[in-house]
Each structure stands twice: as structure tokens, then as C-alpha cells.
């Protein structure tokens, strides 16, 4: 086990190592030993920065949720431009990247982790709940531009898009869906809500 390895940004390096473990071995292989080995540091480094492994995982999810909020802001800023279906197709494809799909599987499989994240998202699955809120905010902005029907319930449409998107992308070991398949799903969900030609 390497010791004395200097890490410039230990938290970020550990998060990046955890993502690599998730990508090549899956959520079940994610242990503190696997993360520190992947990061090339002693196991004590993780415990110096986090109370325990679930605390580390909770911070990893929160860090990735913060990135999601940045993308959500960009999506809201795009309201009124381009095509709603295109924006949502791109947003869902980015959201359900391999790391996010693995993180969702991790969150759903670890009761202790979900319990730690309950303050961030009291209902639903952390990350997916935040994503649904981001899409609802985008749809609300598009309604303000007259591109979503006034009577459309964005708080129903958004989780519907997230749920259908998750079904398309959930098999992290399979082939990712084609853009055309994601677009078809988005078009179907928005069939009665979109006002675009």
C-alpha cells in the first residue's frame, strides 16, 4: 500500500478515483480500499478527510449534484432558444452518463447513504430528484416563453421525463440508447404540452 503520497486536492482525487472504480467495476466494487488503491494513496487519507465511507459517498453524491445544478442553470438559460425537445434530449443524455447511472445504482443499494442524503432530498432518489427539479424549472421557463402549454403540469412532466430517461439508460453495462430513441421518448412525453411547430 503506498504511503506518503502527496495529494494536491485529496477530496477531488478521491472522488475521481471513486468514479473510475464505479465505471470499470460497478457500485458493488466501491469500497474504501478500492478507492484509495485507485487514487494511489494510503487508506488513512480517506478517513482523514471523511468521518467514514458513507460520509465520503454522501459528499461524492453532493459534489456531483452540484455539477448537475450548474448544468441546470445552463439549461434554464437556454429557454426560449432552439427546440425544447432538443434541449431536453441533450440534458437527459448528459444527465444519464455512465457515472451518474452508477451513482444512482449506488444510492439505491445503500440504505446508510440514502439516509445521509435525506436532508438534501427528503423524497425520491437523490440525484434523480434534483434532476427532476431542474427539468421542471426549465419547463416552467419555457412556459414563460409560450413554448409549453399553460395548463401543462411541469411537476408531473419532469419526473416522467426522468423516469423514462432512467429506464432507457439504466443498464450501465449495456449499449447506451441512441439519441433518436431519447428524442422519441421526450417527444412522446411532451406530446400534449409542447407548443412548438
**Each residue of 36-79: pLDDT tens digit?**
999 999 888 998 999 999 999 999 999 988 888 889 999 999 99
Torsion, CA 22, CA 25, CA 31, CA 32, rounded to 10 = -70
Fold of the domain built from segment(s) 1-49: Arc Repressor Mutant, subunit A (1.10.10)
Q: Mean of the pLDDT values across residues 152-180?
A: 92
Of 77-86, 122-131, 157-166, where does mean pLDDT reach its minimum?
A: 122-131
> Which residue did the predictor score with more confidence, 95 or 173?
95
pLDDT digits (tens, 9 = 90+) for 12-32: 999 999 999 999 998 899 999
Contact assessment for residue 88 and residue 186, using Cβ atoms and an 8 Å cutoff = yes
Binning pLDDT at 50, 70 and 90, where does residue 2 land?
very low
Q: What percent of the chain has pLDDT over 90?
A: 66
**Buried/exposed 76-112: b ≥16 CB within 10 Å, e otherwise:** bebbeeeebbebbbbbbbebbeebbbbbbbbbeebee
What is the reported pLDDT for 120? 67
Instruction: Output the pLDDT for position 8.
Output: 67
pLDDT at 133 over 60: yes
**Which pLDDT score, from 0 to 100, does residue 4 have?**
46
pLDDT at 136 over 50: yes
**Would you kindly state where each structural domain of the chain is located, as residue ranges?**
1-49, 63-189
State pLDDT tens for residues 78-125. Answer: 999 999 999 999 999 999 998 889 999 999 888 888 888 887 666 778
Query: For domain 63-189, which architecture applies?
Result: Orthogonal Bundle (1.10)
Helix (H, G, I), strand (E, B) or coil at 178: coil
Distance of CA 96 to the CA centre of its chain: 6
Amino acid at each position: 500500500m503506498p504511503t506518503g503520497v502527496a495529494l494536491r486536492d485529496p477530496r477531488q482525487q478521491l472522488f475521481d478515483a471513486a468514479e473510475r472504480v464505479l465505471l470499470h467495476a460497478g457500485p458493488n466494487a466501491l469500497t474504501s480500499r478500492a478507492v484509495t488503491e485507485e487514487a494511489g494513496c494510503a487508506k488513512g487519507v480517506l478517513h482523514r478527510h471523511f468521518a467514514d465511507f458513507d460520509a465520503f459517498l454522501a459528499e461524492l453524491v453532493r459534489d456531483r449534484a452540484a455539477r448537475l445544478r450548474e448544468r441546470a442553470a445552463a439549461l434554464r438559460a437556454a429557454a426560449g432558444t432552439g427546440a425544447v425537445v432538443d434541449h431536453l434530449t441533450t440534458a437527459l443524455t448528459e444527465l444519464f452518463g455512465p457515472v451518474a447511472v452508477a451513482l444512482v445504482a449506488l444510492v439505491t443499494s445503500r440504505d446508510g447513504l440514502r439516509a445521509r442524503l435525506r436532508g438534501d432530498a427528503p423524497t425520491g432518489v437523490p440525484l434523480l430528484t434534483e434532476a427532476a427539479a431542474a427539468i421542471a424549472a426549465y419547463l416552467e421557463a419555457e412556459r414563460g416563453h409560450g413554448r409549453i402549454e399553460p395548463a401543462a403540469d411541469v411537476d408531473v412532466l419532469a419526473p416522467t421525463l426522468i423516469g423514462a430517461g432512467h429506464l432507457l439508460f439504466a443498464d450501465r453495462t449495456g449499449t447506451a440508447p441512441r439519441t433518436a430513441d431519447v428524442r422519441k421518448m421526450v417527444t412522446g412525453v411532451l406530446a400534449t404540452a409542447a407548443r412548438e411547430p
